[in-house]
Structure 1
Amino acid sequence: MTFSSPKNIISVTCILLFHQEKVLVAQRSLEMDLPLLWEFPGGKVEKGETEEVCIVREIREELGIEIGVVERLEAFDHNYNDRKIIRLIPLLGYWVKGEISLLEHSQVTWLAQTQLSEVEWAPADLPIVKQLERYWNNYHEKVLNFQNNH
């Protein structure tokens, strides 16, 4: 009888960052795994760190800007290989201050809802893209309402 080793689940946050009716997306650099594919920026949750603290830290480290978090959305698991699962945790957010600097990615752009299918996405991000397409107006409204009330 053979037993397969348990898969390693890695929690990774990403931000659906709304600004002027568009969402920020980043293209992975040539030095990264899955080079030149597009993703929602974010990174791994460190031990003892909340998802909200993680995404604020990651965006500061990767893009040099400050963001605010509105809420956590449904997470999706993606099998990258037989031993690693990425649990991608999207959070809704907004730009607080700062100027974007490309500290890890090759480029960033702002996409409208109708442009989401125009880039080649990293596989783990695809379920989030589908959710965003479906709930765009709801997500955008939540961000605007949060900003107006805080």
Structure 2
Amino acid sequence: MTIPVVCALIASDDGKVLAARRSSSMDLPGKWEFPGGKVEPGETPRKALIREIEEELGILVRISATMSANVHHYKEKTIKLIPFVCSIISGEVCLKEHQSWSWFDRDELEDLDWAEADIPVLKEYLLMRG
């Protein structure tokens, strides 16, 4: 069974992107990711993204673009990662699950130790922003 999962590429006005580092209580501890989570039954991916970001980071985001979904097979599960480009409408980032977070420019993004499913998302985003 493939699990639908959304993720947010939250961009700042100066072109940096928010990435979050997974905590020791999460799968793939210490890996960087674009924050998000599972789409609940009966929920659209867009609604799931807004809910997940509010739950995980305490902020409200506006979706500005949809990117290509990709399927990734981890040993224990298969996910369909559905990415969205967003901006913050309101709130201050307050971590509920992650170990840390930061804003990164494009060169810094490429140097992070990413969760495997996020790598194709990062590559597409960097091509889009050329």
Indicate the TM-score class for this superposition, using the shorter chain for normalisation.
over 0.9
Residue 81 of structure 2 is aligned to residue 108 of structure 1: no
Preserved contact between residue 27 and residue 107 of structure 1 (Cα < 8 Å): yes
Matched, 1:125 2:118: yes
More helix by share: 1
CA distance in 1, matches of 2:94, 2:73: 31
8 Å CA contact 1:17, 1:23 repeated in 2:
yes
Match of 2:10 in 1: 17
In the alignment, which residue of structure 2 is the partner of 1:95?
Answer: 88
1:72-91 maps to which residues of 2 (within 5 A)?
Answer: 72-81=66-75, 84-91=77-84
Distance of 1:14 and 1:58 partners within structure 2: 9
Instruction: Give 1:30-45 correspondences, 5 Å limit.
Output: 30-45=24-39
User: Residue 58 of structure 2 corresponds to which residue in structure 1?
Assistant: 64
Structure 1 stretches (4+) deviating beyond 3 angstroms? Answer: none
RMSD after superposition = 1.0
> What is the aligned residue count?
129
Secondary structure, counterpart of 2:80 in structure 1: strand
- Alpha-carbon distance, 1:73 to partner: 1.1
Query: Quick one: which of 132, 135, 145 aligns to 2:128?
Result: 135
TM-score between both structures, scaled by the size of structure 1: 0.83
Question: What is the distance in 2 between the residues matched to 1:51 and 1:72?
Answer: 10
> Is the CA contact 1:70–1:93 (under 8 Å) kept in the aligned structure 2?
yes
- Decide whether the 8 Å contact of 1:116 with 1:133 is kept in 2: no
CA distance in 2, matches of 1:21, 1:134: 14
Identity %: 43
Q: Choose 1 or 2 for highest CA Rg.
A: 1
- Gaps spanning 5+ residues in structure 2: where? none
Q: Compute the displacement of 1:84 (Å).
A: 2.4
TM-score (ref. length: structure 2): 0.95
* Aligned partners of 1:40 and 1:125 also within 8 Å: yes
